[in-house]
Structure formats: C-alpha cells, structure tokens
C-alpha cells in the first residue's frame, strides 16, 4: 500500500443508530492489498457486539496516469451565475447565505461547520438544490469567521469530502405540501431563504450572534420528517490542491420517493466546475419523533 495515500471510493452502510453521548469502538482490517489500489474495512460498534456501521474504503494514488476519455457530460441545468469574490461579504445580489448557529448539544450542530449560499430565486417546481459552500468551523459559535485574512481561513481538502456529501440541504423538504398557517418545511429552500433574511437583518443590526435563530431547528429537532441514510457510496474524481480550496459547488437531486424510500445523488464541483466527487445514497424518510425517541433512549443507556 506504499504510495496509496488517496481515498478513491467508499461504500458505507448504517445498520444501527450511533449516539454522540456514548463511546464507540472502531476496528480496521485489510480486505485486499494491490499494486494500484487496496481496500480497507472499518467496522463501528457501540454498546454491544453488534455492528452499527461498516465502511469499505478503497485507497489509491489519484496522480497515477491512465486512460482519459471525454464523455461530454454536463449538468442538466447550468449553474447560476455567481461572483465568488462577493459571496462571503454578502454583496452578491443573486445569492443569500445561511449558517446554522453552533450549540454543543444542538440538533444541527454538524451543519454549523458549513456556510451555505443559495440562489435567492427558484422555479415553482424545484427538481434539484444547488449551493456554494465554504468552511464554517473557523467561525465563532454564533457569529462571524474568527479570521479576517484570506490565507488564515479554513479550506476544503479531500479528507472532508465525505462530510460535505452528507451535509447538503435536505431536498425532500421541498416536496412536502405546505399547509396554510403552518411553518414551512424546515429544510426547504423557502424556509432557508427566510432564515437567510433573518440572519441578514441581524448582521445589519450589528448583532455579534447573528446566526442564532429561534425557529431554524439549531437547538432542537423542529421538523416532522427526517431521512435516515441506509447506505452511502462515494467516488472521488479529483484530488483537490494540498493547501485546499475555499469554495465548492454542491448539487443534490432525488428521482423518486415511494413509501419513504428515497434515492439521493450528490455531485461536488470545484470553482472551475470540474467534478470532484459523486455520492449515491439509499435513504428512508421516517417521522422525526421516531428518530428522537432512539436518540433519547441511546443517551440513557
């Protein structure tokens, strides 16, 4: 495995829930070792000898040369025009930013590590979700980035791709019917645009904790449905620069949701719109209360 320092692909399966309040045991083993690529298997256990998560990870050297064929593939809809130099200062007129406030025991604390930018206008029928993202873990828990100089700010690297691919806005929230006098589906584009407007007002008012919102589900679960990932397959198409990049473009779509069974495809691009990674998920939509009951039970074990 000498020289095989890049993750080429992975297949992750989730069998049982994991709980942040409890310790977990990880076991690493070799599945196969080859000259061009090797496969490692990671198994995760928590509170019993029953496996909770498994990950088959293929490692290689992405710099090795091979056949290159041009397929002429492109996104079905071109990305919206954007000036990345204006995004972070919220001076790009066509885009709005949203970053969840961080709370140590918050329901959406993982989302606080990403600052997302979405278009301000959308078609009446949403078939996909697009967003530009920059890192957010170098920010104060409820406010701005802790660094002013661009060279000091956090950057994306290949090590973070799997986290990114599971952190996009939940596209299924856009398909739930909206009942009059009821809150918009929590993760929908419409609801998120409302959160972006509230955060913008807080910034303009000079509030240091401008990311803290009462009704965006940052602290507690406030959605009726959640999707549980059963399996997640990712292929890395491109190695990002060693020093990382500040901006990545995320495209998410689903083709069918039947009896709660949902497919999910996530595509990741760099600033030049070169494809960086592809992820396919098999997921199940369940009532949020069911997930919360598991969480409470797991915390009390």
In a domain, 68, yes or no: no
pLDDT of residue 225: 85
In a domain, 28, yes or no: yes
Give dist(CA 176, CA 127) in Å, integer. 13
Query: Which residue range forms the structural domain that includes residue 264?
Result: 84-287
In a domain, 301, yes or no: no
Question: Is residue 92 located within the same domain as residue 12?
Answer: no
Question: Is residue 55 located within the same domain as residue 108?
Answer: no
In a domain, 300, yes or no: no
Question: Is residue 107 located within the same domain as residue 232?
Answer: yes
In a domain, 78, yes or no: no
Could you identify the residue written with the tokens 């970053």?
Answer: 99
Give dist(CA 278, CA 172) in Å, integer. 19
Q: What CATH number is associated with residue 196?
A: 3.10.129.10
Question: Is residue 39 located within the same domain as residue 144?
Answer: no
Question: Is residue 41 located within the same domain as residue 134?
Answer: no
Q: Are strands 51-60 and 37-45 parallel, antiparallel or unpaired?
A: antiparallel
The model's pLDDT over 79-96, given as tens digits with 9 standing for 90+, comes to 999 999 999 999 999 999
Give dist(CA 204, CA 102) in Å, integer. 20
Of the listed ranges 7-16, 38-47, 173-182, 292-301, the one predicted with least confidence: 292-301
3-state secondary structure of 192: helix
The model's pLDDT over 247-276, given as tens digits with 9 standing for 90+, comes to 999 999 999 999 999 999 999 999 999 999
Question: Is residue 35 located within the same domain as residue 139?
Answer: no
Give dist(CA 114, CA 166) in Å, integer. 11
Decide if pLDDT at 149 tops 90. no
Give dist(CA 105, CA 300) in Å, integer. 15
Residues written for the chain? 301
Question: Is residue 53 located within the same domain as residue 90?
Answer: no
Q: What is the mean pLDDT of residues 207-211?
A: 95
Question: Is residue 102 located within the same domain as residue 174?
Answer: yes
Question: Is residue 124 located within the same domain as residue 223?
Answer: yes
The model's pLDDT over 116-135, given as tens digits with 9 standing for 90+, comes to 999 999 988 999 999 999 99
Decide if pLDDT at 233 tops 60. yes
Residue 268, strand partner residues:
250, 277
Give dist(CA 111, CA 136) in Å, integer. 9
- C-beta of residue 222 within 8 angstroms of C-beta of residue 285: no
pLDDT of residue 180: 84
**Could you tell me the pLDDT band of residue 151, with boundaries at 50, 70 and 90?**
confident
Q: Which residues contact 257 (CB under 8 A, 6 or more apart)?
A: 172, 175, 285
Question: Is residue 52 located within the same domain as residue 136?
Answer: no
Q: What is the largest CA-CA distance in the chain?
A: 61
Give dist(CA 218, CA 212) in Å, integer. 8
In a domain, 69, yes or no: no
Question: Is residue 34 located within the same domain as residue 152?
Answer: no
User: In the structure encoding, which two tokens stand for residue 216, read together?
Assistant: 């965006």
Number of separate domains in the chain: 2
Decide if pLDDT at 136 tops 80. yes
Q: Which of 60, 75, 101 is the last residue of a domain?
A: 60
pTM of this prediction exceeds 0.75: yes
Question: Is residue 42 located within the same domain as residue 107?
Answer: no
In a domain, 295, yes or no: no
The model's pLDDT over 282-295, given as tens digits with 9 standing for 90+, comes to 999 998 876 555 55
Residue 245, strand partner residues:
156
3-state secondary structure of 194: helix
| pLDDT > 90: percent of the chain | 74
In a domain, 162, yes or no: yes
């Amino acid at each position: 495995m000498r020289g095989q320092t890049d993750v080429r692909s992975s297949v992750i399966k989730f069998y049982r829930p994991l709980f942040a309040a409890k310790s977990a045991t990880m076991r690493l083993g070799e599945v196969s070792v080859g000259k061009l690529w090797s496969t490692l298997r990671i198994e995760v256990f928590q509170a019993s000898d029953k496996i909770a998560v498994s990950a088959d990870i293929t490692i290689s050297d992405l710099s090795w040369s091979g056949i290159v064929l041009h397929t002429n593939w492109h996104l079905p809809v071109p990305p919206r025009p954007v000036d990345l130099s204006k995004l972070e200062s919220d001076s790009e007129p066509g885009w709005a930013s949203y970053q969840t406030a961080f709370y140590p025991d918050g329901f959406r604390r993982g989302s606080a590590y990403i600052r997302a930018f979405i278009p301000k206008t959308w078609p009446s029928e949403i078939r996909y979700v697009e967003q530009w993202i920059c890192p957010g873990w170098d920010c104060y828990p409820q406010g701005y980035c802790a660094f002013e100089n661009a060279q000091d700010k956090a950057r994306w690297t290949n090590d973070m791709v799997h986290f990114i691919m599971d952190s996009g806005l939940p596209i299924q929230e856009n398909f739930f019917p909206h009942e009059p006098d009821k809150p918009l589906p929590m993760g929908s584009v419409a609801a998120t645009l409302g959160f972006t407007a509230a955060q913008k007002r807080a910034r303009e008012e000079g509030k240091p904790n401008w990311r803290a919102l009462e009704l965006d589900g940052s602290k507690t679960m406030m959605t009726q449905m959640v999707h549980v990932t059963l399996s997640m397959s990712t292929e890395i198409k491109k190695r990002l620069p060693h020093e990382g990049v500040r901006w990545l473009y995320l495209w998410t779509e689903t083709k069918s949701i039947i009896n709660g069974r949902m497919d999910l495809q996530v595509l990741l691009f760099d600033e030049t719109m070169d494809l960086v990674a592809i992820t396919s998920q098999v997921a199940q939509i369940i009532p949020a209360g069911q997930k919360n009951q598991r969480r409470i039970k797991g915390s009390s074990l």
